[in-house]
Amino acid sequence: MLATLSNLLWSYVLIALLVGIGLYFTVASRFVQFRYFGRMFRVLGSALHHEPGQISSFQALVVSVAGRVGGGNIAGVAVAITLGGPGAVFWMWLIGLMGMATSFFECSLAQLYKRREPDGSFRGGPAYYLSRGLEQKGLAALYSVLLLITFGFGFNAVQSYVVATSLSDSFGVPTTVSGAALVVFLGFVFFGGMRRIAAVAEVIVPVMAVSYFACALLVIGLNVDRVPGVLATIVSSAFGFEPALGGGLGVAVMQGVKRGLFSNEAGLGSAPNVAAVATVPHPASQGIVQAFSVFIDTLIMCSCTALIILLSDVFTSSGPEVSGVALTQNALAEHLGAWGGSFVSVALVLFAFSSIMYNYYLGENSLNYFSEENQRLFVVYRVLVLGLVFWGAAQDLGTVFSFADLTMGLLGVVNLVGLIWMSRLALRLLRDYDTQLAAGREPRLDPAAFADLDIDASAWQDAPRVPKD
């Protein structure tokens, strides 16, 4: 039943909403993800600057990348290629490019409605712009509950299972040992709050992403003469010209769109919770940074896995019974030897570890919406999450994953309804950014220009300035 409901939601409702909203925001913003693509690097150049005790724009970026980049980039791409053929990769690229616009706006809105905490840090996310921007407290409460169930509890247990089984299969580590080790390391991170999560992610995420990217570049270098042919196959298969390489045009489109949306999470409302905590001069500045995180996830990391698989003979020789992580492992082992398969396992462990940190913070943020001052509640939550991490390491969590998959779909529907409702305000925020840039100024939010909104003006009093070129 869970699988049927989840399939209905992800195969029809969410695809229609996410693709429709992505197209709308892309056109209405005059292709903001392309207009400001070069500026993404300019903004990132100043993203390391932040006040002591606050979170930099770069730190918020790497935490959100930690959540976006994960099993979907290693296993999800392999599944998409197995079921939909190489053409599914093209549709993943397309949905990623549109998702950049959606992510820009949802993360900009999260920044606009962020609230300053007593310790000088920030909180925000869809629950805040749903309640303060739309005055829909019931919708915000529903969103927060779904966020807590999906990421705070469900996916944390699943990620723990992924880590433990991967270490067990590759290196013979008992699942209970893996679970206990995860509890120790994660406990240290969780009880340090968002600042420690950001500090750890700032180290782990670039290392794991760059290592995986470098591995893919090595594979490409060893097979550089075949790359043009593989790219041509991806494009031709996307339009059904090579049906023998997949399930036909319809399946290629469906798998590419579905796996692309699942991987980059644009529009699902998860990344805005992290985007809101950054210290930036204008909400759109973080929107630009978060759009880049979608590019990293789908256009770079997913492409790495796709090329690793399609440049090998594993895809055509293994058959449909070999899919997911096993397909990626076998492909990399063919290119680089036995250590290639082990590298995939290590990468998957790092991806999953960083995803657990990200998931934990999303759950904490949902609790904060209901109770900002009850610190005992946060301690109980941390202990529960650590308990689920240990429990999940030794369980077969197919049912848990199906349930979390369903609640994440519902989470996306709630957030997308809010984005449609607030689309005029989102475009107004972009116009403010565009106007300041056109006047030759580095954009800074003036709370007085948005005095008609319920925003926290104190959150913008000491916003950092972007250094001049």
DSSP 243: G
pLDDT digits (tens, 9 = 90+) for 402-452: 777 788 888 889 999 999 999 999 999 999 999 999 998 989 999 999 999
Rg (CA), the chain: 21
Measured CA to CA in angstroms, residue 169 lies from 17, 155, 175, 305, 400 at distances of 39, 21, 10, 21, 21
pLDDT, residue 104, reads: 94
pLDDT digits (tens, 9 = 90+) for 16-72: 888 899 999 999 999 999 999 888 877 766 655 555 556 777 788 787 777 777 666
What element of type H or E holds 122?
strand 122-123
Strand partners, 115: 123
Across 182-186, 195-199, 298-302, 372-376, the highest mean pLDDT is recorded for: 182-186
User: Residue 469 — pLDDT band, cuts 50, 70, 90?
Assistant: very low
Do the Cβ atoms of 444 and 463 come closer than 8 Å? yes
pLDDT, residue 24, reads: 94
Two structure tokens written together for 160: 């723990």
E-strand spans in 134-240?
Answer: none
User: What is the reported pTM?
Assistant: 0.85
What distance lies between CA 153 and its chain's CA centroid? 17
pLDDT, residue 463, reads: 56
Quote the percentage of the chain above a pLDDT of 70.
Answer: 88
Question: CA-based diameter of the chain, in Å?
Answer: 63
Q: Which residues contact 251 (CB under 8 A, 6 or more apart)?
A: 83, 84, 85, 88
Dist. CA 174–CA 176, nearest whole Å: 5
Do the Cβ atoms of 276 and 129 come closer than 8 Å? no
pLDDT, residue 112, reads: 94
Two structure tokens written together for 318: 């293994």
User: Residue 249 — pLDDT band, cuts 50, 70, 90?
Assistant: low
User: Residue 468 — pLDDT band, cuts 50, 70, 90?
Assistant: very low
pLDDT, residue 431, reads: 96
> Pick from 26, 13, 202, 210: which is nearest to 103 by CA?
26
User: What is the set of domains in the chain, with CATH numbers?
Assistant: 10-438 (1.20.1740)
14 or 115, which is more confident = 115
Quote the percentage of the chain above a pLDDT of 90.
Answer: 25
What integer is the mean pLDDT of 283-307? 89
Say if residue 243's pLDDT is above 60.
Answer: no
Dist. CA 248–CA 239, nearest whole Å: 9
DSSP 296: I
Dist. CA 44–CA 359, nearest whole Å: 24
pLDDT, residue 100, reads: 92
pLDDT digits (tens, 9 = 90+) for 313-352: 877 665 555 556 678 878 888 888 877 777 877 887 888 8
pLDDT, residue 45, reads: 63
Say if residue 158's pLDDT is above 90.
Answer: no
pLDDT, residue 71, reads: 61
- The dihedral of CA 255, 345, 387, 152: what is its sign? negative
pLDDT, residue 467, reads: 45
pLDDT, residue 436, reads: 94
Give, to the nearest 10 degrees, the angle between helix 193-222 and helix 338-370. 150
